[in-house]
Amino acid sequence: MRFATEEILETFKMLNVEHLEIRAVTLGISLLNCIGGGSRETAAMIKKKINNVAGDLVKTVTSVSDEYGVRITNSRISVTPASLLLARYPNVESAIEIGHALDEATQEIGVDFVGGFTALVERGITKSDAALMNAIPKVLSETSRVCSSVNVASTRAGINVDAINIMAKKIKETAAMTKNKNGIGCANLVVFCNAPSDNPFMAGAFHGVEQGEASITVGISGPSAIRAAIENCSGNVEELGGCIKQAAFKMTRVGELIGKETAKRLGARFGTVDLSIAPTTAKGDSIVDVIEAMGVQKCGSPGTTAAMGLMIDNIKKGGMMACTQVGGLSGVFIPVSEDSGMNARIAEGAINMEKLEALTSICSVGLDMVCLPGDTDESIIAGLIADEAAIGVANDKTTAARLIPVPGKKAGQTVNFGGLYGSGTIVDVSRWKASKFLSRGGQISGTIKSAKN
């Protein structure tokens, strides 16, 4: 036999019993050559280009999935940060027109999300960045596919406090403008520190200007495959790490194979594999199950950060050996509403806001899909973003805030967004503010790590 029976059966088990899947195949597209004399012309060229480059994305991903027997949950597109497309007409109306063009083009090719309604403002805000940021609430309330992200901090630049204050306001406005859907617009809005330009996952994906004309990035998944590896290991923490590493190696190999094949068929460059372990609302697909399988009584109890750190480190080590190009966020997602286990632990008090913040110092992103009381003050939201940015800058890692102040809801109540967004318990948040500190504005400079050249 070319393959041992055990090898074939193990692959079968990982793919069919343990739900190893590719969470996202994302086609990044440069829209820089779509900049026309006016926003209407630009919008038309954007729609044409997306259709030309990504028209066959869904069909291609479906056939690759079918031939390799690997489930691919989502096909998505990401584009050049849209604020760059607005440089010649930096006004809110033009930004809204571009937002709608992205939404319509994405609908036409049968894709559910497009990432890249984005501005990178960690050092300063251009007129077109400001126009885009001001257009975010309206665009997210009038479209369903557009995902927006704003990078407000980086290890080199430090933290743009003015941008944080603006984004806290925009989050509140977005929640208010989508209040009939529980503030769902905020689920498509990420405020970043050290945003990666090759991230396949929504809502924070965008296609960096250095990423070439078109590239495929792949996000792997499979908390239950990692959990199965852990459950089969009764050894000490070193052996536990080894089991996770082996599973991560195999999972990443699948991701690379699928990514390279999809890129080849679409005539795009193969970009990177994002090693993030991404949970879903499906039973058994929670990051909580993985942590608790390691021996932590309740995810959130003391020891959780160490257990998660061990898991993330070994996923990266196994994945790095398996794949030539690793990128994106690469770690473990801990979204609240999108992970029914996380939400359950929040509801019973095993995890609170402070523990979530602690976990963001090692996880792949940050405060992700965290539902806040609807009357949470703008300055408290700004404080949460600033804290995430500080963790990212100090640790030289990506952090982010995807916060939803749910209109009319109080701490402890629940909200059901439906579908991929799941349902969330409203997390209690401090009522004390840092408004005097943050309203000083300006730029917190990069740490000494920024002077590493």
Name the residues that contact another protein, by CB under 8 A: 1-3, 5, 7-12, 14, 16, 66-70, 250, 253-254, 256-257
> Minimum Å distance from CB 263 to another protein?
15
Q: Which H or E run includes 189?
A: strand 189-193
Give the nearer residue to another protein in terms of CB position, either 65 or 75.
65
Is the preceding omega at residue 229 within 30 degrees of 0, hence cis?
no
Give the nearer residue to another protein in terms of CB position, either 15 or 389.
15
Give the nearer residue to another protein in terms of CB position, either 29 or 64.
64
> Minimum Å distance from CB 261 to another protein?
8
Do the Cβ atoms of 5 and 183 come closer than 8 Å?
A: no
Give the nearer residue to another protein in terms of CB position, either 4 or 451.
4
3-state DSSP call for residue 166?
helix
CA–CA separation, 206 and 441 (whole Å) = 27
Beta strand extents in 2-132 (DSSP E only): 22-29, 72-79, 114-120
> Minimum Å distance from CB 220 to another protein?
12
> Minimum Å distance from CB 235 to another protein?
22
> Minimum Å distance from CB 422 to another protein?
30
> Minimum Å distance from CB 22 to another protein?
12
- The residue written with tokens 């009319």 in the block is 408
Cα torsion 346, 412, 337, 396: sign: negative
Cα torsion 47, 51, 52, 57: sign: positive
> Minimum Å distance from CB 201 to another protein?
22
Give the nearer residue to another protein in terms of CB position, either 274 or 368.
274
> Minimum Å distance from CB 355 to another protein?
35
3-state DSSP call for residue 215?
strand
Do the Cβ atoms of 229 and 243 come closer than 8 Å?
A: yes
Give the nearer residue to another protein in terms of CB position, either 198 or 256.
256
Give the nearer residue to another protein in terms of CB position, either 1 or 448.
1
Helix axes 223-231, 5-16, angle to 10 degrees: 130
Give the nearer residue to another protein in terms of CB position, either 9 or 87.
9
- Give the residue among 59, 56, 79 at the shortest CA–CA distance from 67: 59
122: which residues sit within 8 A by CB, 6+ positions away?
A: 151, 152, 153, 154, 157, 158, 159, 160, 163, 193
- The residue written with tokens 């400079």 in the block is 445
